[in-house]
A and B are shown apart, each in its own frame.
Chain A
Amino acid sequence: MNPRTVVQMTDVSMSFGPVQAVDHVSFTVEKGEVFGFLGPNGAGKTTAIRLLLGLLAPTTGKAEVLGFDTGTQAQSIREHCGALLEFNGLYERLTAQDNLEFQGRAWRMPAAQRQARIEEMLSNIGLWERRFDLVGHWSRGMKQKLAVARAMFHRPELIFLDEPTAGLDPVSAAALRQDLVALAEREGVTIFLTTHNLDEAEKLCHRVGVIRKGKLLAVGTVDELSGKNGAMHAVIEGKGFNEAILAALRAFPDVASVRRDNGHVSIELKRDEVASVVSMLVGCGVQIEGVHKNEASLEDVFLDLMQEDKEEAK
């Protein structure tokens, strides 16, 4: 394993009875990067984290985290990692101080170091004044912030965050993302993040992997994925679109996909060929009112990958 490689999954599969939760997945995560694992609900993201933490054993294949084998050295992996899993895992009958104290004791930090770290972490996320509150009385956003702080408390080399902003309102989610970026930069950790929030992945992640029904569909930077899955995205507004014209558009060689939405037509182009598409539409009698073109966003890439996979499955 390359010394800069922190996570390496090689052809890993995991099934629960007839359900294939992870299907021959291979990828690597490098030291210091924020890696996003994207996928809809039930795609296999949480199972992947459980496999990497050695909480589940793969049916086939091999995974290594920080150079430790997940099958035989799971305890060593857990000693060097932090995790915020599907549920925040906070003890709601304890105070914020006690939750972090337990984390510090579990990682055998000396008492003085624990206390200093509690003050540092809670101050960083603006919760120092609330340290003696029972966590059960807190809002969801505050709990998630504390759970992130807990995951980083013992200065792990790698942290796993399973949908850290799920269920938060947009303001709390944005605040948590900000804290997450600040903490990650300050602590210098590698982050493995799962999410189905594409905006979040685009803002936070250096690289992303897209997973659906246990299969890894693509891995790379957002730019790389955009290049691989449709370099150009165009929205054409106008009147006179009908099914025959849309069918003609879909048959056009440079068009990857077409979506119709409230009089707009969104087109994924394989190449920057908007002009030829527009002239074809004008020739068909469409009255063009506006054309907006931009590079494909992660959302476009993601939706295309999901669509392609569905079509292949058919």
Chain B
Amino acid sequence: MKADVRTVLWKEYREMFSGPASRDNIAVTIIMLGLLGILMPLQQGVGFVGSPMTLLYSYMIPFTIILNLIADSFAGERERHTLETLLAGRLSDRAILVGKLLASVLYAWAVSIVSLLLGWISVNVAFGKGHLLLFPIWMPLSFVTLSFLVSWLIAGFGVLISLRSPTVRQAQQIVGLMISVPMVPILMVLMMMRNVTFGTWVMTVAIPALSSMLSNVTAFVGVMALVLLIIDLALVRIALARFQRAKLIQG
């Protein structure tokens, strides 16, 4: 199983980084690293190395990186007429599915970790003033754990869509919509903040409650990680159940 997953990973990365699409993929990666690993940490300043808000990067980066990759996973093979030959081969359902999921997850996870490192270097260069600014120990550990689990979460939802989408574009649109849905409550809150009463409630009740929750960051991260892990495992099971060669071939 491991060797077969490695084989699928090899093929996916070969297509991503050695073929005609490699230039685009490398350019997108560099832009993302510049934006999320240099520009945004510099805007945040010294707070980047100490604030729990930095953990938000563990969500943002996978959200932005995975969309195209995961939409392409099965819908792309279907569109380019390579899916049936892949399914007619020796590789098991599990190896194909996990290999394709991991290809997106590992890539997004790697970009997340490199962004964190770049951010740390950038903030030290810009604001260190001769001192080394260090993360509190929980920060990199929480970041690495959450970014992996969030990457898996998005890839899991994405692969469910891609499995049955006739085209990459359709898969991208649906996955994009799904990714946007969690942003709706945040936007609604921001719009409602214009209302004085609600704004006051947010400032006096919601933010202190959130701060108190974040004051025990490790517990918060632990609970989040556990919830994400459960959802991630459930998604893999659902995806495996939906991975039926006959249905994949017939679209």
Is the CB of B86 closer than 8 A to any CB of chain A?
yes
Is the CB of A75 closer than 8 A to any CB of chain B?
yes
Is the CB of A90 closer than 8 A to any CB of chain B?
yes
A83-B10 in contact (CB<8A):
no
A91-B88 in contact (CB<8A):
no
**Which of B18, B86, B92, B245 has most chain A Cβ within 10 Å?**
B245
Known contacts A56-B249, A93-B19, A136-B20; decide if A86 and B84 are in contact (CB<8 Å). yes
Question: Which residues on A sit within 8 Å (CB–CB) of B11?
Answer: 91, 94, 102, 105
Question: Which residues on A sit within 8 Å (CB–CB) of B86?
Answer: 89
Is the CB of B14 closer than 8 A to any CB of chain A?
yes
Interface residues on B, range: 20 to 34
Question: Which residues on B sit within 8 Å (CB–CB) of A74?
Answer: 245
Q: Which of B19, B21, B82, B90 contacts A106 (CB 8 A)?
A: B90
Q: Mark A47-62, 1 if CB is under 8 A from B, else 0.
A: 0001001111100000
Q: Which of B10, B84, B88, B246 contacts A102 (CB 8 A)?
A: B10
Is the CB of A92 closer than 8 A to any CB of chain B?
yes
Q: Which of B3, B10, B87, B246 contacts A108 (CB 8 A)?
A: B3
B18-A106 in contact (CB<8A):
no
CA distance A34 to B248 in the complex (A): 30
Interface residues of B in 221-251 (CB under 8 A from A): 245-246, 249-250
Is the CB of A293 closer than 8 A to any CB of chain B?
no
Known contacts A86-B84, A89-B81, A93-B20; decide if A106 and B89 are in contact (CB<8 Å). yes
Q: Which of B21, B84, B246 contacts A89 (CB 8 A)?
A: B84
Question: Which residues on A sit within 8 Å (CB–CB) of B84?
Answer: 55, 85-87, 89
Q: Mark A39-73, 1 if CB is under 8 A from B, else 0.
A: 00000000000100111110000000000000000
A87-B85 in contact (CB<8A):
yes
Q: Mark B1-37, 1 if CB is under 8 A from A, else 0.
A: 0011001001100110011110000000000000000
A94-B19 in contact (CB<8A):
yes
Question: Which residues on B sit within 8 Å (CB–CB) of A75?
Answer: 90, 92
Q: Which of B4, B15, B92 contacts A94 (CB 8 A)?
A: B15
A107-B90 in contact (CB<8A):
yes
CA distance A128 to B203 in the complex (A): 70
Known contacts A89-B84, A93-B20, A106-B91; decide if A57 and B15 are in contact (CB<8 Å). no
Is the CB of B80 closer than 8 A to any CB of chain A?
yes
- Quote the shortest CB–CB distance from A311 to chain B (angstroms): 33
Known contacts A93-B15, A94-B15; decide if A78 and B3 are in contact (CB<8 Å). no
CA distance A289 to B14 in the complex (A): 67
Known contacts A106-B91, A108-B3; decide if A98 and B85 are in contact (CB<8 Å). no
List 12 additional A-B contacts (Cβ < 8 Å) besides A87-B81, A91-B80, A108-B3: A16-B250, A53-B88, A83-B85, A89-B82, A89-B85, A90-B82, A93-B19, A93-B20, A102-B10, A105-B7, A134-B19, A136-B20
List of 10 A-B pairs having minimum Cβ-Cβ separation, nearest first: A89-B85, A93-B19, A87-B81, A105-B7, A83-B88, A79-B90, A102-B11, A89-B82, A56-B246, A93-B15
A-B contact pairs, 8 of them (CB 8 A): A55-B84, A57-B246, A75-B90, A75-B92, A83-B89, A89-B88, A94-B14, A106-B4
- Residues on B facing A (Cβ under 8 Å): 3-4, 7, 10-11, 14-15, 18-21, 80-82, 84-92, 245-246, 249-250
